[in-house]
Amino acid sequence: MKAVKAKNQVDRPVTESVLDEAIERGRLRRNSGLQATAVTFLEPCLAVSFEDGSGVLLPVKCYPEFDDFRTQDFAGLKVGFSGTALCHEGKDLQISIAGMISASKPLMDMAASVVASRNGRQSSAAKAEAARANGRKGGRPRKVEVAL
């Protein structure tokens, strides 16, 4: 898993416009989709539950961040950062749920398959017009086999 170094933030005075920008960023983040509501340790996995009732099991052995965790340490694991991260205050751990999912090859393969399926069903205005034009001509032309 890739470690991301925190950037130094220059202190900015909190003005109405800065506050409005922060609220808007939070609103956009909340609407972005991935909102975990709970995490439970079901040995040997973490069960992460989402707003819509779905969930995912992530095996802790695949994540080196949990190497020094004992079974009782997992009880202190909480969902934070507006449902986008797992946090443990005692261990000073904040780990992105999206990052954990993206580190799993089978989950990423499944996600790619789902995205490809969904994208294949979408029809742009150009595709729809081409389909109508082909329909007016009697449908898709038959393939012509070329004899060699």
Instruction: Report the CATH number at residue 32.
Output: 3.30.2020.40
Is residue 139 in some structural domain?
no
Question: How many other β-carbons are positioned within 10 Å of the β-carbon of residue 39?
Answer: 19
Residues 22-42 pLDDT 10s: 888 877 766 666 789 999 999
* Number of separate domains in the chain: 1
4 is a domain residue: no
The whole-model pTM stands at: 0.60
2 part of a folded domain: no
| Residues 41, 71 contacting (CB under 8 angstroms) | yes
Query: Is there a domain that residue 7 lies in?
Result: no
106-137 pLDDT, tens digit per residue, is 889 988 888 888 877 777 788 888 888 888 88
| Whole-number Cα distances in Å, 97 to 52, 63, 73, 144 | 16, 12, 18, 51
Provide the β-strand partners of residue 49.
Answer: 38, 55
pLDDT tens by residue, 39-87: 999 989 999 999 888 899 999 999 999 999 998 999 999 999 888 899 9
Could you list the residue range(s) of the whole structural domain that residue 115 is in? 28-121
Say if 94 falls within a structural domain: yes
Is residue 85 in a domain? Answer: yes
55, part of any domain: yes
**63 inside domain:** yes
